[in-house]
Amino acid sequence: MGLACSPAESVVRVPSAPPPSREEVVVSDAPVSEVRREEVVVRRDCLVEPAISEAPAPAWHLVGTTDEMPYLHAMGSVVFVSTDRKLYDATAGEPLVASTTRALGLPTRKRVVRMFGAWPDDAWLATFEGEMTRGGGGHKFHLWRWSAGAGGDRWVRLTRAVVYGDGAPEFYPWSPGRALELRCGDGPDLGLRAYGGDGVQPRPLVRARHSSFCPQVFFATGAGDVFAVDEVRSDPPNVQVSRRCAGCDEAEISGLPVPRLCDQGPTWSVWGLRAPRSVGAEALLAGHTSVVMDDGLGQQSGTFLLRRVDDAWESEAVPGGVAGGTIDDVVTAADGALWLVTERLLRRAADGAWTSVPLPDALRGPDVRVDLRGVATIAEEVWLVAETVRDGESLWSVYRSGAAPSPGAGAGRPL
């Protein structure tokens, strides 16, 4: 579900020399010497953090706990929770139960590590099939799709042989009824294999020079546009985006803007980029920036959203992004709101207003370390996965907001 949240004070070693002087550039109609101290100084090359308010505390309910990291998936009207060997599901207002009907066709005791699409007409999942025993390591996966057939609705495996991946399966939602598998080893361009639809296979996607083996981020929009994102250089940062629109033969490669907060120095690196897990109508990324301090160390200098508007990328600062930890999850809700998991739970409404959503009482307090791991939304409910660490032992908890389902699932039961 994401990487561990980084403490605000964590730093990374920077191999390059300190950056040049970070003196402020003042943009004003008057001469610099005539700008009064109390006047607002406008700098057009930087962003200001937006205001944020605290939302009313939701009515959180503990669904269950596990000593294995769970995966949280929302597909339309159904939310799924998968642990090491079990799959659970629920709809809004109903208790979370072990999947039976919605797990038909799946092998027993296989971990579900990724689910995407919309239930039930366009539902996909990937199962973990074990570790690679030869070569450079990695994992093995299979891709499945929910299908209606003469024998009843069930999951059908689409991959004949296992598909290899590093830490996660390289399966992604594409246009409605279709999914993509990345074939990074096909090089020099990014190989793509499509499942579903008319069976026509897309051409390889041309990427920027000096890109990594697999893209740092890959995603598609609901219209069928595909994007591969790579940071090809730091100091100065250079993030290249390869995009091919639906129906286009050729890809276009362009640079991602390098955002900066007005109270921070020149951006040295753009990192931690991720796209929402759900396919939306717009192209959107979330990520962080770093600056190089005078002692040669790098430090987080902001968190940003980057969205493609009228064929150009626009940047927006996320509140508290300097000391806000890393983004561990980002999802788009049905109402257009964007939910971000950092060390806080943030919501950006469709009108751009930011709120911080209070966490469950059990996740607040000085005696425990809490890392938020994932978020999902169905109807009016918000689901949350959090890891708590006490005395070096981790426990994962699943919470949901809203009215308590009846009959209840048993607060805190093991999953």
Q: What is the pLDDT of residues 264-279, one digit of tens each?
A: 988 888 889 999 987 7
Q: What is the pLDDT of residues 216-256, one digit of tens each?
A: 999 999 889 999 998 887 667 889 999 999 889 899 999 99
Q: Is the pLDDT of residue 96 over 70?
A: yes
348 located within any domain: yes
Q: What is the pLDDT of residues 156-207, one digit of tens each?
A: 999 999 998 887 899 999 988 999 999 988 878 999 999 998 888 999 999 9
How many domains would you assign to the chain? 1
Most confident of 139-153, 269-283, 374-388: 374-388
* pTM for the structure as a whole: 0.84
Q: Is the pLDDT of residue 142 over 90?
A: yes
Give the pLDDT confidence score for residue 202 in this predicted structure.
Answer: 92
Q: Is the pLDDT of residue 54 over 90?
A: yes
13 located within any domain: no
Q: Is the pLDDT of residue 26 over 90?
A: no
The count of other CB atoms within 10 Å of the CB of residue 148 is 11
31 located within any domain: no
> For residue 152, what are its two tokens?
């009843």
Alpha-carbon distance of 407 to 401, in angstroms, equals: 16
CATH number for the domain spanning 349: value is: 2.130.10
DSSP secondary structure string for all residues of 340-369? EESSSEEEE-TTS-EEEEPPPGGG-STTSE
Collapse the DSSP code of 87 into the 3-class scheme (helix H, G, I; strand E, B; otherwise coil) and give the result.
strand
User: Which residue, chain included where needed, has tokens 């980084």?
Assistant: 6
196 located within any domain: yes
234 located within any domain: yes
End-to-end CA distance of the chain: 17
Q: Is the pLDDT of residue 14 over 60?
A: no
Cβ atoms of 357 and 347 within 8 Å: the answer is: yes
232 located within any domain: yes
Provide the CA 194 distance to its chain's centre, in angstroms: 22
29 located within any domain: no
Q: Is 137 exposed, middle or buried (0-12, 13-18, 19+ CB in 10 A)?
A: exposed
- Bridge partners (DSSP) of residue 97 are 89
354 located within any domain: yes
The count of other CB atoms within 10 Å of the CB of residue 352 is 9
Give me the domain span that covers residue 242.
Answer: 46-401
Percentage of the chain lying above the pLDDT 70 cut = 86
